[in-house]
């Protein structure tokens, strides 16, 4: 019996030593699987190109809890001026413009590139950055050659954007909005005025991570700027958004239903 146990013990010891020796190797493998550095464009600035999401589609396994739902976060509507607080009381889900396929001025999950959704795409060149959203099929052109905002552009749902580089951070200034969208969707009352201005700061931390910070100002509606919680996006495992239409065929029925007493 002893003769048979001894070799087994020896095997266990050998196995343990092998595991200990292997541990640094595994750690090295783990370290080497870290995302590489952010790629750069021909002009040396970080290349923001890619499809960016929170790690999963809405409703999918692993989808992140939206930062917008953090109960401790300061919300846009909490900064309403007194008259806006009163106006907000008259609005509800039934008034949400997105029910009729009108996108938001900002984004449901506090990511403007996503608009009403949870995925967006950036196509970047040294002179122009393009933001694409999947759900509402919209785009935004962001010139980066130092030109000012256009003076021939009528106000739009998504505004007029210009961009510049502050070191490795891409800064986007968006103005010239209409006042007939909400900042967000899902029935969260978040109207704004045509004085809305959004400043965003994009930073590609590494090959797979994009951080976005934003400040929202609306001196006609808010008591002060709203600093949006920082959003951390992941590079999606696919390289192109789907092309999908928005339809509002059932909008009237949905609005009637949303108007019913709860």
| Contact footprint for other proteins (CB under 8 A) | 57-61, 63, 65-66, 69, 92-94, 96, 98-99, 101, 108-109, 116-119, 134-137, 185-187, 238, 241-242, 244-247, 249-250, 253-254, 256-260, 262
End-to-end CA distance of the chain: 77
The number of residues making up the chain comes to 262
Instruction: Identify which of residues 142 and 185 has a Cβ nearer to other proteins in the complex.
Output: 185
The least distance separating other proteins from the CB of residue 185, rounded to whole angstroms, comes to 6
Residue nearer to other proteins on the CB measure, 86 or 250 = 250
DSSP state of 70: -
Tell me the closest approach of the beta carbon of residue 179 to other proteins, in angstroms: 21
Q: How far is the CB of 37 from other proteins (least distance, A)?
A: 28
- Please answer whether residues 178 and 195 qualify as being in contact, where contact means their C-beta atoms are separated by less than 8 angstroms: no
Contact 48, 124 (CB under 8 A): yes
CB of 104 to other proteins, least distance (A): 10
Task: Compare residues 111 and 142 and give the one whose CB is closer to other proteins.
Answer: 111
Of 119 and 162, nearer to other proteins (C-beta) is 119
The region that residue 247 occupies, defined by phi over 0 for left and psi between -120 and 50 for alpha, beta otherwise, is beta
Nearer to other proteins, 41 or 56 (CB): 56
CB of 92 to other proteins, least distance (A): 7
In 17-168, DSSP assigns E strands to 50-53, 119-124, 128-133, 139-143, 160-166
Determine the Cα–Cα distance for residues 129 and 144; give it in Å rounded to an integer.
7
């Amino acid at each position: 019996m002893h003769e048979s146990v001894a070799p087994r013990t020896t095997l266990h010891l050998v196995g343990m030593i092998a595991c200990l020796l292997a541990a640094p190797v595994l750690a090295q493998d783990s370290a080497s699987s870290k995302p590489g550095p952010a790629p750069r464009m021909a002009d040396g600035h970080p290349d923001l190109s890619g499809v960016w999401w929170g790690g999963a589609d809405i409703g999918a396994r692993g989808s992140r809890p939206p930062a917008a739902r953090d109960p401790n976060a300061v919300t846009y509507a909490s900064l309403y001026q007194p008259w806006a607080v009163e106006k907000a009381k008259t609005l509800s889900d039934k008034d949400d413009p997105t029910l009729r396929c009108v996108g938001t001025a900002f984004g449901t999950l506090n990511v403007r590139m996503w608009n009403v959704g949870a995925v967006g795409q950036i196509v970047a060149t040294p002179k122009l950055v393009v933001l694409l959203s999947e759900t509402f099929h919209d785009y935004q052109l962001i010139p980066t050659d130092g030109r000012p905002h256009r003076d021939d552009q009528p106000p739009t749902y998504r505004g007029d954007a210009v961009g510049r580089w502050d070191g490795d951070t891409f800064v986007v200034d968006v103005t010239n909005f209409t006042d007939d969208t909400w900042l967000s969707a899902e029935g969260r009352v978040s109207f704004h005025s045509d004085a809305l201005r959004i400043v965003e700061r994009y930073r590609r931390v590494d090959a797979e991570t994009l951080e976005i910070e934003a400040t929202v100002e609306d001196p006609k509606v808010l008591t002060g700027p709203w600093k949006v919680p920082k959003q951390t996006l992941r590079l999606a495992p696919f390289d192109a958004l789907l092309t999908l239409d928005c339809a509002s065929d059932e909008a009237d029925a949905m609005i009637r239903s949303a108007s019913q007493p709860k």
